[in-house]
Copies of this chain bind each other. A is one copy, B any other.
Amino acid sequence: MSIELRKQLFEQLDQIVLVDPHSHINPLSAASTTLADILGYHYYTELSHSAGMPKDQIEEPGLDPKEKVRRLVENFGPIENTIQYSWFIEFAQKMFGFADERLTTDNWEALYDSAAERMAKDDWEETVLRESKLEGIFLTNDFDDTLEGFDTGRYIPCLRTDDLVFHLAKLTVVERLENATGISISGREALESALDKLFEHFVSKGAKACAISLPPDFAPHYVSDNRADIAIKNILGKGDDAAPNDRHAASNFVFWSLAERCRQHKLPFDLMIGVNRGVYETGVYQGQDLYDSRVSLIQYRQLFNAFRDVTFPVSVLASVTNQELVSYSWIFPNVVANGHWWYSNTPAYIESDLAARLEAIPQTKVIGYYTDMYKLEFGMPKFAMFKRILAKVLAERFVIDRGWSEDRALELGKTVLRGNVESIFGLGK
Q: Which residues of A contact B (CB under 8 A)?
A: 1, 3, 46-47, 49-52, 77-84, 86, 101, 276, 279-283, 287-288, 290-294, 296-298, 301, 304-305, 308, 318-321, 323-324, 326-333, 343-344, 346-349, 352, 355-356, 358-365, 388, 392, 397, 400-402, 408, 412
CB proximity of A372 to chain B, nearest CB, Å:
15
Decide yes or no: A296 and B305 within 8 Å by CB, A323-B349, A330-B50, A362-B50 being known contacts. Answer: no
| Assembled-state Cα–Cα distance A288/B356 (Å) | 20
CB proximity of A91 to chain B, nearest CB, Å:
15
CB proximity of A57 to chain B, nearest CB, Å:
13
| Assembled-state Cα–Cα distance A305/B283 (Å) | 10
| Assembled-state Cα–Cα distance A101/B274 (Å) | 40
Pairwise interchain contact B298-A296, C-beta atoms closer than 8 A: no
| Assembled-state Cα–Cα distance A287/B328 (Å) | 11
| Assembled-state Cα–Cα distance A202/B279 (Å) | 33
A401: which B residues are within 8 A, CB to CB?
347, 388, 392
A301: which B residues are within 8 A, CB to CB?
279
A283: which B residues are within 8 A, CB to CB?
331-332
Partner of A276 from the list B298, B362, B388 (CB cut-off 8 Å) is B298
A412: which B residues are within 8 A, CB to CB?
81
| Assembled-state Cα–Cα distance A51/B366 (Å) | 11
A-B contact pairs, 21 of them (CB 8 A): A3-B400, A47-B362, A50-B365, A51-B364, A78-B364, A79-B363, A80-B363, A81-B359, A82-B360, A83-B359, A279-B301, A288-B331, A290-B297, A292-B298, A292-B324, A293-B296, A294-B294, A294-B296, A320-B320, A343-B360, A388-B401
Given contacts A47-B362, A318-B320, 18 further A-B contacts (CB under 8 A): A50-B330, A51-B365, A77-B364, A81-B358, A81-B362, A82-B362, A280-B304, A283-B331, A290-B297, A290-B298, A290-B327, A291-B327, A292-B298, A293-B296, A294-B294, A319-B320, A323-B349, A392-B401
Pairwise interchain contact B365-A324, C-beta atoms closer than 8 A: no
Pairwise interchain contact B78-A365, C-beta atoms closer than 8 A: yes
Most B-side CB within 10 Å, residue of A83, A318, A360, A412: A360
A3: which B residues are within 8 A, CB to CB?
1, 400
CB proximity of A26 to chain B, nearest CB, Å:
24
A291: which B residues are within 8 A, CB to CB?
298, 324, 327
A365: which B residues are within 8 A, CB to CB?
50-51, 78
Chain B residue at minimal CB-CB distance from A295: B294
A348: which B residues are within 8 A, CB to CB?
352, 355-356, 359, 397
Chain B residue at minimal CB-CB distance from A332: B280
**5 closest residue pairs by CB, A with B:** A51-B362, A348-B355, A78-B362, A81-B363, A292-B298
A298: which B residues are within 8 A, CB to CB?
276, 279, 290-292
A79: which B residues are within 8 A, CB to CB?
362-363
